[in-house]
């Protein structure tokens, strides 16, 4: 359980809106529920915004009550739907969004999403003065200011479930599989999955891929009779095609590898117990922070405690992959 700060109510909003934006992640629904139930318990009106910032600028709103979020904690995806709204990068569009919130007597906004969504939240707050709190909702776990993000644990476990099945074939045929997991520019999923599944190797964007060294180690493992899982976990990277390119390079060096891309199955499915607790606590805490007069912040967790980080710092910094963790992963695979 997390250490949760307590505050005095100094600036209770009349109404709070909540939206989910960008790529969906398991646990967004418990986060929405946390916001709604915590606000209603303080007699604050709650409005759900459909389709993220796209719904904000078109006024696609829904009045929410306790029944609106009944039996959603176990559901993947997001009840409010999501979207990647490129138009929200325009200051005039953000101004229109702020105007719509004001016209609907909405005093504050909670945004659940990744770095792009939190950037939009920061700009909206800075330009309009409307109090905004962000929650880190992304499977990539790449958000600065929080040790964990909503959906990361579920995505790791979803990938592990798939890899455990792939391993049966890899061992039966004594073959090598390159399993691609999501993560864009971040190797968090790949590193955690690689450790948890006992992968032979891990390839992440943070460190340069040395194909010759990989081939040498694979050949040496087989020559010396070292155990092999037959699994290499590869983070997808910023550009598509990395895993197939790596497979071709391995083949040119005498190592035949099959490719399995897990893709969007990692976004779906029922959120894990860990993600349900994390999301629920963050959602409820967002209301506490708004009622205490906080704004332009993201609520996350650090060292087991709920904490806040200014959004300007969140979007200006990149969360690094712990080099010690990655080196430990390499050590365990030798």
Known catalytic residues are 140
β-strand pairing of 61-64 with 45-49: antiparallel
* Vertex 144 angle, CA 141 and 148, to 5°: 35
Cβ–Cβ < 8 Å for 44, 16:
yes
Could you tell me which of 45, 21, 43, 69 has the C-alpha nearest to residue 276? 69
Measure the CA–CA gap between 127 and 18, rounded to whole angstroms: 19
Measure the CA–CA gap between 106 and 99, rounded to whole angstroms: 10
The position carrying tokens 């200011």 is 145
Tokens of 134: 């962000």
Q: How far is CA 247 from the centre of its chain?
A: 28
Residue 268: CA count within 13 A, CB half-sphere: 5
Please, what is the end-to-end C-alpha distance for the chain in angstroms? Answer: 35
Cβ–Cβ < 8 Å for 10, 288:
no
Dihedral, CA of residue 146, residue 132, residue 70 and residue 85, to nearest 10: -90
Could you tell me which of 287, 298, 278 has the C-alpha nearest to residue 112? 298
């Amino acid at each position: 359980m997390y250490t949760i700060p307590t505050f005095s109510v100094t600036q209770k909003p009349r109404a709070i809106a909540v939206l989910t934006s960008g790529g969906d992640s398991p646990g967004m629904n418990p986060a929405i529920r946390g916001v709604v139930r915590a606000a209603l318990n303080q007699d604050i009106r709650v409005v759900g915004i459909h389709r993220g910032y796209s719904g904000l600028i078109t006024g696609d709103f829904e009045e929410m009550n306790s029944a609106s979020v009944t039996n959603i904690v176990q559901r993947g995806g997001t009840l409010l739907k999501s979207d990647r709204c490129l138009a929200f990068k325009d200051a005039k569009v953000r101004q229109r969004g702020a105007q719509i919130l004001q016209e609907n007597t909405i005093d504050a906004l909670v945004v659940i999403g990744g770095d792009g969504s939190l950037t939009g939240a920061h700009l909206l707050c800075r330009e309009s003065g409307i109090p905004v709190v962000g929650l880190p909702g992304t499977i990539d776990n790449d958000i600065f200011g929080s040790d964990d993000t909503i959906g990361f644990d579920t995505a790791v476990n979803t990938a592990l479930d798939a890899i455990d099945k792939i391993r049966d074939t890899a061992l039966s045929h004594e073959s090598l599989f390159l399993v691609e997991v999501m993560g864009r520019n971040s190797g968090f999923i790949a590193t955690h999955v690689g450790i948890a599944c006992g992968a032979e190797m891990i390839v992440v964007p943070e460190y340069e891929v040395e194909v010759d060294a990989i081939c040498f180690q694979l050949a040496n493992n087989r020559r010396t009779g070292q155990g092999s899982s037959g699994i290499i976990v590869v983070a997808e990277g910023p550009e598509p095609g990395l895993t197939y390119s790596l497979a071709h390079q391995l083949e040119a060096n005498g190592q035949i590898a099959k490719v399995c891309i897990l893709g969007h199955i990692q976004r779906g499915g029922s959120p894990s117990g860990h993600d349900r607790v994390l999301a629920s606590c963050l959602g409820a805490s967002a209301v506490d922070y708004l009622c205490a007069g906080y704004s332009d912040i993201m609520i996350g967790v650090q060292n087991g405690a709920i904490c806040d980080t200014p959004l300007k710092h969140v979007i200006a910094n990149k969360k690094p992959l712990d080099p010690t963790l990655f080196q430990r992963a390499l050590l365990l695979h030798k």
